A and B are shown apart, each in its own frame.
Chain A
């Protein structure tokens, strides 16, 4: 059991997909304007990761070596389609806010990266916890970035305005501000890691 918890925890801190592996930066930059978007994107990606990791770990012995990437993509695309249709049905507003970035989870490098680097070599249960850990790590990173961007860039937290006289720094609501912020956070987490 402890092994599984370790599998899970490594995705959150030691191998955080955004801040340590630097994977999946494209959706991170694009959707982290508000916390709601960040959470929605994080949950969608976690679901796809879980599903694809488990299925790929199950059929890893049946997939021919030479066409493994197309096979992974088919599995991933299936889960993305499920996610997208569910999102369209139950929260169309979120789907509109995330836009093209929901179908683009298919080519999210975290999902494909974990399939190639982990699920194709590990057992089903291990892959499940790896996918869960990576997904939660990605979601937490998105929440951190989008919380900072929403507060400093728009002066809001989850849509509310906590301080009336606060003057939002416009640039953080734009992609250039997101790049700057992610760079600083990457540096910050590297600093912590080095000092340990």
Chain B
């Protein structure tokens, strides 16, 4: 028996590449560091606590559940780390300490381990946690802190202000780009997010298909329908606010929950963009990126079925 185990042959092609699931996961973690650092700089140390709590709880939950179900403990592969990190990035900075804890437990337990662990989940676990928290405790999940003040002055996000018709003075585009606005920890600094995204794109860990079509569709749709008349919307404002950039580059591109083929990924990106803009312009919530990605996650198996690449030699 022992000898047979050494003779297992994997499926061809037998090319060797220095990549593994855990290496890719840790690379994504590295690419997320600038956005987190910017968030901590903009909102103060409370943001750092939320991030640490989210990550530590996610790792602990994963380990406890894997011990309980008698599976191999794989908390060092980075996937639980990313889930905790992304969940914390999706929270306002000054939340009660138990909010990231419960969110991370829910993300890992319900979003991931219930389905059988990494690679089996239908929905992006971090977004499952965020949407759960938003449905449970909307009071805390929408109490955003004004940037660079460090004294807990609350301020609506630009999108929320727009929805309520209270966006009186226009926020400078440069401020939006650098993150001087109310919002979630990891979503505000577009510059830092783009740095991380560029790293992932250049190293080939993500492809451009989902994020670019997602952002482009949102821009076009809000340009056409976002203004007073047709073709008068402030498309740049819609691209730079909310969780669009964070979601497009780091959550919609999740390997497990997005389509496999290029064609499928383009459909996925366009779908995300349409749902996000529809929720933003006509929906009940100010921001729809997380719901859009979750809904398209649910559609991923169908997209995969209808965009199967043709087997070579067959019609």
Contact = CB atoms under 8 A, between A and B. Distances in A.
Interface string B129-141: 0001001111000
A65 interface: no
Interface string A151-191: 00000000000000001011110101100100000010000
Contacts of B135: 170-171, 174, 176-177
Contacts of A169: 136-137
Interface residues of A, number: 10
A195 to B, nearest CB: 12
Contact of A170 (B96, B110, B114, B138): B138
Nearest to A187: B114
Contacts, number: 17
A180 B131 CA distance: 13
Interface residues of B, number: 8
Interface in B91-132: 96, 110, 114, 132
A176 B128 CA distance: 13
B294 to A, nearest CB: 13
A170 B138 CA distance: 8
B95 to A, nearest CB: 12
A30 B136 CA distance: 19
A170 B135 CA distance: 6
A176 B135 CA distance: 10
A169 B138 CA distance: 10
Contacts of B114: 187
A177 B106 CA distance: 13
Nearest to A167: B137
A69 to B, nearest CB: 36
B237 to A, nearest CB: 31
Contacts of A170: 135-138
A177 B131 CA distance: 12
A19 B301 CA distance: 29
A167 B138 CA distance: 11
Nearest to A168: B136
A180 B132 CA distance: 11
Nearest to B134: A171
A167 B99 CA distance: 11
17 contacts: A167-B96, A167-B137, A169-B136, A169-B137, A170-B135, A170-B136, A170-B137, A170-B138, A171-B132, A171-B135, A171-B136, A172-B136, A174-B135, A176-B135, A177-B135, A180-B110, A187-B114
Interface of A: 167, 169-172, 174, 176-177, 180, 187
Given A170-B136, A172-B136, 8 more contacts: A167-B96, A169-B136, A169-B137, A170-B138, A171-B132, A174-B135, A177-B135, A180-B110
- List the 10 shortest-distance A-B pairs measured between CB atoms, nearest first: A169-B136, A171-B135, A171-B136, A170-B136, A167-B137, A170-B135, A171-B132, A170-B137, A170-B138, A169-B137
